[in-house]
Amino acid sequence: MKKLIYLSLLLFVFKAEAQQSITFKYKYLPNHNYNGTVSMDMNCNATLKGDTQLINKLKSQGIIQPIVLNLGMKMIGGVKTGSPDANNIFPLTMNYKINEMSINISGKAIPMPATMNSDIKIYGHVGTDGKLKADSVNANKLKDTSEKRISQMMNSFQNMIKFPDHPLKIGDTFTQDMPFNIPMAGNNMTTNAKVVYKLVSIADGNAYFDITQSMDITIPIKDQSITLKGAGTGKLVYDLKNSFPTDFTSNINLAFNGKINTFEINGTALMNMEYKYDIQ
């Protein structure tokens, strides 16, 4: 009986100790379905200066300053992985479409084109490191060069994601710095993003993180540009069994300014994002 009690105590202690730390690393698993939704809404207040003719034209259409812009978007879709080969490399297909899209400027709804709901399919594979490698993109209305840029951008972004090389205990933090460029009309949109993760609890097969983040974006427009800078917070739920985040929310406050042709623009924006995954 004493041996049984000791064994039970040892198992309890081992289980309690195991729940005090985790290995944090995103990876896709073979023969799985990752069904997801991505939602984003952004509320902007902007003031224009300089081009009196344009400002009066907007005013005649009922758009007065500060201009209020509300943007909402929801994407649905998922990722399906196949069986691994002898080198433990397996295929992956990502299929997403914009399910909902709305733009409202100072109370006036902007109609969206019917092609907005077109599917975007990305074909790739998962390497031995568990990361996605995009091989090709099949998206309606996209040219070959656009497809190549999308796949190159995804692969570049994946390569920048770095994970801690040691187990994390509750209270530990780690940082991801992600500078990257997005091709835009012969130029690059420069983005510097920084995310700090703090492990706050482990329970029910999940690890829970608090997030602080900052962002610095430069959007080129002809010979001029608009800059956006801001910071925010968020939450992340990490599925320990599947080594994958299943729930992420973030809120970022941004300030922006710049010049476009004959007028200056200044303003603020609040951007909220959420994504959820159901893994099967």
Domains of the chain listed by start with CATH number: 21-279 (2.30.230)
pTM of structure: 0.80
Which tokens hold the place of 127? 């390497």
180-187 long-range contacts, Cβ below 8 Å, gap at least 24? Answer: 180/153, 180/156, 182/153, 183/149, 183/153, 184/219, 184/220, 187/220
Bridge partners of residue 213, in order along the sequence: 195, 232
In tens, the pLDDT along 180-200 reads: 666 655 666 778 888 999 999
- What are the mean pLDDT values of the chain's consecutive 10-residue runs (280 residues total)? 40 44 84 92 88 79 83 89 93 86 84 68 83 72 54 60 82 84 66 89 93 88 82 94 92 89 86 91
What's the pLDDT at 97?
84
* Residue 99 contacts residue 117 (beta carbons within 8 Å): yes
The rounded distance, in Å, linking the Cα atoms of 240 and 263 is 51
Question: Looking at this protein, which amino acid is placed at residue 279?
Answer: I
Question: In degrees rounded to 5, what are phi and psi of residue 24?
Answer: -100, 115
In tens, the pLDDT along 89-104 reads: 999 888 888 888 888 8
Q: What is the total residue count of the chain?
A: 280
Which tokens hold the place of 120? 């975007």
Query: Where are the alpha helices (H) located in 19-71, listed in sequence order?
Result: 52-60
> 244: how many CB neighbours lie within 10 A of its CB?
19
The rounded distance, in Å, linking the Cα atoms of 245 and 28 is 11
Which tokens hold the place of 89? 């490399």
What's the pLDDT at 178?
76
What's the pLDDT at 6?
39
What's the pLDDT at 130?
72
